[in-house]
């Protein structure tokens, strides 16, 4: 619709494409992640060779590994641990570091069977996050863990996930979608990413809302990039059929949320 201004999104996409081709910037991000993860033995970040790096060449150590998808045949406990570590990384990026590698392409992860470590690659899409982005997610997750549908709806609007027009026109559908998510989040024990039944329900309800073009809404740019990382991480977890105690992990970052 004409009322939806996508120019800022296109401008940001162009900016990121330029940044991903800026090897000096990527070198800084590679070095920064190496520092941030220095005490995290479950991850491997290539070492930067700054003296050999130029605007046209990014020099780093060679790190062995196989495609992360090979973990599909790994024991359940290994798959669970890997996804626990990756989800923990996303939470630290969002809430602790305010810095996130926003490209969750599976090719950016490699697995070392011999060491059982995960290799992290390609930091061209790493970007700093404003404090309000993390706080918006914190309010949303705190409300979700409390099982408070109204608070979830209001937090989603405040953070820009939902447009007010969509909520006004499709309140019942929005509330049903929230209820589906709250039921899944309230289930005891690890969350089973291999069970995708609820996703189809959300897709059907979301599609119905999306048909109403007059209520289309563009979330904040930074939220879109964060959501890309979260969605991609969830897709990998589903691919590996991992089971992770999401509720406990998220509760550690939420204000007074029940675990």
3-state secondary structure of 126: strand
The mean per-residue pLDDT over the stretch 193-210 comes to 89
- Supply 220's token pair: 């904040």
**Which of 1-15, 130-144, 152-166, 171-185 is the least confident region?**
1-15
Structural domain of 246:
66-259
| 147 within a domain of the structure (yes/no) | yes
CA distance linking residue 10 with residue 211, whole number of Å: 23
Q: What percent of the chain has pLDDT over 70?
A: 97
In the set 39, 77, 103, 212, the catalytic residue is: 103
Question: What does the pLDDT look like over 116-138, one tens digit per residue?
Answer: 999 999 999 999 999 999 999 99
CA distance linking residue 200 with residue 22, whole number of Å: 39
Number of domains in the chain: 1
| 218 within a domain of the structure (yes/no) | yes
The pLDDT value given to residue 3: 62
Instruction: Give Cα separations from 35 to 39, 46, 116, 122, 127 (angstroms).
Output: 8, 11, 21, 15, 16
Q: Specify whether 103 is catalytic.
A: yes
The mean per-residue pLDDT over the stretch 169-189 comes to 93
The pLDDT value given to residue 259: 47
| 2 within a domain of the structure (yes/no) | no
Q: Is the model's pLDDT at 199 over the cut of 60?
A: yes
**Which of 71-80, 109-118, 196-205, 236-245 is the least confident region?**
196-205
Question: What does the pLDDT look like over 90-124, one tens digit per residue?
Answer: 999 999 999 999 999 999 999 999 999 999 999 99
| 36 within a domain of the structure (yes/no) | no
Model confidence band, residue 52 (pLDDT cutoffs 50, 70, 90): very high
Q: Is the model's pLDDT at 8 over the cut of 80?
A: no
| 132 within a domain of the structure (yes/no) | yes
| 6 within a domain of the structure (yes/no) | no
Prediction pTM value: 0.90
Q: Is the model's pLDDT at 257 over the cut of 70?
A: no
Residues 6+ apart with CB under 8 A from 74: 82, 240
| 189 within a domain of the structure (yes/no) | yes
Location of structure tokens 């309230």 = 186
| 161 within a domain of the structure (yes/no) | yes
């Amino acid at each position: 619709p004409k009322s939806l201004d996508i120019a800022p999104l296109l401008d940001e996409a162009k900016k990121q494409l330029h940044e991903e081709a800026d090897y000096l910037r990527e070198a800084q991000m590679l070095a920064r992640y190496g520092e941030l993860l220095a005490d995290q033995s479950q991850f491997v970040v290539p070492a930067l060779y700054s003296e050999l790096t130029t605007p046209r060449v990014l020099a780093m150590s060679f790190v062995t590994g196989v495609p992360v998808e090979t973990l599909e045949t790994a024991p359940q406990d290994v798959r669970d641990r890997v996804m626990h570590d990756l989800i923990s990384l996303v939470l630290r990026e969002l809430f602790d570091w305010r810095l996130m590698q926003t490209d969750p392409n599976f090719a950016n992860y490699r697995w070392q069977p011999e060491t059982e470590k995960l290799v992290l690659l390609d930091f061209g899409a790493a970007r700093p996050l404003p404090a309000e982005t993390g706080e918006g997610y914190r309010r949303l997750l705190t409300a979700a863990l409390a099982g408070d549908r109204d608070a979830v709806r209001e937090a989603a609007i405040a953070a820009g996930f939902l447009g007010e027009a969509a909520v006004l026109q499709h309140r019942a559908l929005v509330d049903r979608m929230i209820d589906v998510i709250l039921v899944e989040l309230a289930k005891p024990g690890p969350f089973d990413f291999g069970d995708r039944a609820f996703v189809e329900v959300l897709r059907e309800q979301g599609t119905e809302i999306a048909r109403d073009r007059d209520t289309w809404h563009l979330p904040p740019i930074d939220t879109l990039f964060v959501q890309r990382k979260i969605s991609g991480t969830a897709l990998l977890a589903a691919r590996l059929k991992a089971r992770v105690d999401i509720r406990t992990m998220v509760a550690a970052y939420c204000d007074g949320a029940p675990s």
